[in-house]
Amino acid sequence: MQVKTERIHLTSRREGDILDITDQVEGAVRGTGIRNGVATVFVPGATGAITTIEYEPGLIHDFPAMLERVAPRGISYEHEKRWHDGNGHSHVRASLVGPSLTVPFTEGSLTLGTWQQIVFVEMDRRGRSREIVLQVLGE
């Protein structure tokens, strides 16, 4: 069993950005030389999230709209009362979606569905530079 850690760097432009990172993840997995195992994709920080989605214009529109219905910007959050940073909704949204995803791979290829891509979702009020940690376990 081997464990290797890689990093992917990206920059979001604004809140609600959904960035397809599938190719970077797959390239990083292949670069480890591990043929079969699992890859965990993790974003450090409390206002970013990792998930899968069919990366197409309709869902790119629908996903942020869903987040607005579930955790709207315009309501009171205790986080904002304490910190006055205007991103209480960002923290709640990121917690709901989650900071990580584990994907199995075989023969160096991710075992994603035909219409399934790995995405980073920016939940913070502004764009940011992000580092995605990829931990690859296998043989």
Query: Do the beta carbons of residue 63 and residue 18 sit within 8 Å?
Result: yes
Instruction: Give the pLDDT of residue 30.
Output: 97
Per-residue pLDDT tens for 23-78?
999 999 999 999 999 999 999 999 999 999 999 999 999 999 999 999 999 999 99
Instruction: Give the pLDDT of residue 32.
Output: 98
Instruction: Give the pLDDT of residue 118.
Output: 98
- 114 contact partners, CB below 8 Å, separation of at least 6: none
Instruction: Give the pLDDT of residue 105.
Output: 98
CA count, 13 A, side-chain hemisphere, 66: 10
Instruction: Give the pLDDT of residue 108.
Output: 96
What topology is assigned to 2-138 in CATH? Jelly Rolls (2.60.120)
Per-residue pLDDT tens for 105-128?
999 999 999 999 999 999 999 999
SS3 content of the chain, % helix, strand, coil (to 5): 30, 35, 35
- The model's pTM is 0.96
